[in-house]
Copies of this chain bind each other. A is one copy, B any other.
Amino acid sequence: MQSINIGLLGFGTIGTGVVRLVQKNAKIIEQRLGCKVNLVKIADLDIVRDRGVSLAEGMLTTDANEVVSHPDIHVVVELIGGYEPARSLVLKAIQNGKHVVTANKALLAVHGQEILQAAEKHRVEVLFEAAVGGGIPIISAIKENLCGNNFHSVFGIFNGTCNYILTRMTEDGEDFSSVLKEAQAKGYAEADPTFDVEGIDTAHKLALLISLCFGTRVDFSKVYTEGISQLSLVDIEFARQMGYKIKLLAIGKEEGGQIEARVHPTMIPDDYPLAQVDGVLNAVRLVGDFVGPVTLQGAGAGMDATASAVMGDVMSLGRNILQGIKTRSPVMGYCPASIQDLPIKSMDDIVGPYYLRFAVMDRPGVLAQIAGILGAHDISIASMIQPDRQEGLSVPVVLVTHDAREGNIKKALDEIDALEVIREKSHLIRIEGSLD
């Protein structure tokens, strides 16, 4: 009987997970697929370290070409991460007629067009379920069963490090830097956490989902990206008092041929499904015109969950190979000729409610001055908290606006920050009042 032969590029945590899955679940894979999935070759710079799995002799190599050019390999699984050498190796595998499964969101978000075109030219598929939301079958859901829908919007919590830090800040009242240190000690955060805490990893994932949902190419540099490192405990606490939680949310919307693509700390009502996704969990909320909102939640990272997503992709390609077909679904969910270049809305044109916090000198008439400037920019106030005076010279004033244009908000803040009574740069947090 035929087998589906795979080769691995990268033998780190996820690679080890894939090996474990192929070995431990060999029987069920064969029962479901109708043939074995066979591990043929694994390339990594380090082929000495013990990963706790046993492999046939000669399976490990330091030469990645042995994987991408191996005549028996049907599917190359790229788990190196980053841009290079992942990009060159994926392209070489495609040129050699290999299907590719990858968990590499950075590569796809930045070099996706090049890879897509190569895959089209050489008639292979590139699957990447593991690139977004770990084991949660988000990409399959969009490309496969929900594909009859026009999607309105997609919202997601896609970075376990950020979500863990925000959960700890919210529940335990600890500030960003001390929770980050603790997360690094526990292995939940990298030594250099920039990609995670500054929202870049989340933005990579959002760019992919926007392409899949709305059928458009996304210039990654145009995705608005703001992380959580500047977030103050005091804003988390005010948010809580007003019935909100703060999450690092990926937000994609399509309306009238324009796209919203933004990642930033976001206040959402605390009884919303995504508000209850805590710790290292990930979740996505997809809103389609027929299905309505669908929420998917699970482990967003980790050796085993990611291996599950990789194996799902391998088995999907395996079903094609067993039927003798090369490609079945377009890589980005839309036929290449249908993919558009929809413009991304400027942040100035975003409309929604805003949370604003000012540090003011406690003096009569201050609120009137602030409200006057907001009103002059067409911004009306929905609610206000001015807690008791705290020690020091300034007191906080917290406002939530009705729907306002972000461009107006910024102009108003510039004017307000120039007032003599304002003691520090004002703070803004965007609110999503409805995740539909």
> Which residues of A275-329 are within 8 A (CB) of B?
276, 288-299, 302, 304-305, 307-309, 311-316, 319-320, 323-325, 328-329
Give, as a whole number of angstroms, the nearest-CB distance from A18 to chain B. 9
Q: Tell me the minimal C-beta distance from A254 to chain B in angstroms.
A: 11
Residue in B136, B292, B335 whose CB lies within 8 Å of A294: B136
The verdict on A29 contacting chain B, using a C-beta distance below 8 Å, is: yes
Measured in the bound complex, the distance between the Cα atoms of B308 and A146 in whole Å is: 6
Q: Nearest chain-B residue to A37 (Cβ)?
A: B148
**Residue of B with least CB distance to A324:** B325
> Is B297's CB under 8 angstroms from A273's CB?
yes
Distance A335 CA – B312 CA, assembled complex (angstroms): 16
**Separation of A33 and B146 alpha carbons in the complex (Å):** 12
Residue A434 at the B interface, CB < 8 A? Answer: no
- Which residues on B sit within 8 Å (CB–CB) of A295? 295-298
**Is A34's CB within 8 Å of the partner chain B?**
yes
User: In the complex, which range does the number of interface residues on chain A fall in?
Assistant: 35 or more
A1 smallest CB distance to B (angstroms): 11
Check: A407 CB closer than 8 A to any chain B CB.
no
Q: Smallest distance from the beta carbon of A27 to chain B beta carbons, Å? A: 9
Chain B residue with the shortest CB-CB distance to A151: B28
Q: Are B319 and A25 in contact (CB under 8 A)?
A: no
**Contact residues in B for A150 (Cβ distance below 8 Å):** 25, 28
Whole-angstrom distance from the CB of A243 to the nearest CB of chain B? Answer: 16
Asked if B137 and A144 sit within 8 Å, CB to CB, the answer is: yes
Cβ-based interface call for A372 (8 A): no
Given contacts A135-B292, A288-B308, contact A31 B145 (CB under 8 A): no
Query: Are A145 and B298 in touch, CB under 8 angstroms?
Result: no
Partner of A308, one of B29, B291, B323, B324: B291
Q: Per DSSP, are chain A's interface residues mostly helix, strand or loop, or mixed?
A: mixed
Q: Name the CB-closest residue of B to A141.
A: B137
* From B290, B298, B316, contact of A135 by CB (8 A): B290
**Minimum CB distance partner of A283 in chain B:** B295
Query: Is A147 at the interface (CB under 8 A from chain B)?
Result: yes
Alpha-carbon distance A293/B141, docked complex (angstroms)? 17
Q: Does A353 contact B (CB under 8 A)?
A: no
Interface flag for A149 (CB, 8 Å): yes
Are A308 and B129 in contact, with the CB atoms below 8 A? no
Q: Say whether B297 contacts A31, CB under 8 Å.
A: no
- Does A334 reach chain B (CB closer than 8 Å)? yes
> In the bound complex, what is the Cα–Cα distance between A21 and B141 (angstroms)?
18
- Chain B contacts of A320 at CB under 8 A? 328
Asked whether A338 lies within 8 Å of B290 as measured between CB atoms, the reply is no
The minimal Cβ–Cβ distance linking A19 to chain B, given in whole angstroms, is 12
Partner of A21 from B25, B129, B148, B307 at Cβ < 8 Å: B148
Q: Report the minimal beta-carbon distance from A350 to chain B, rounded to whole angstroms.
A: 25
How far apart are A262's CB and chain B's nearest CB, in angstroms? 24
Complex CA distance for A215 and B30, rounded to whole angstroms: 12
Interface residues of A in 88-118 (CB under 8 A from B): none
Closest B residue by C-beta to A288 = B308
Min CB distance A156 to B, Å, is: 14
Closest partner residue, chain B, to A24 (CB atom): B289
List 11 A-B pairs, Cβ < 8 Å.
Answer: A17-B290, A24-B289, A28-B150, A29-B148, A32-B147, A32-B334, A33-B147, A135-B290, A276-B276, A297-B297, A328-B328
- Beyond A148-B308, A273-B276, A290-B308, 9 additional pairs, beta carbon < 8 A: A24-B289, A28-B148, A30-B338, A34-B335, A137-B137, A140-B145, A145-B309, A145-B312, A148-B312
Please list the residues of chain A having a beta carbon within 8 angstroms of any beta carbon in chain B: 17, 21, 24-25, 28-34, 129, 135-137, 140-141, 144-150, 215, 273, 276, 288-299, 302, 304-305, 307-309, 311-316, 319-320, 323-325, 328-330, 333-335, 338
* The 7 nearest A-B residue pairs measured at CB: A148-B311, A145-B312, A137-B145, A31-B338, A135-B291, A294-B298, A291-B308
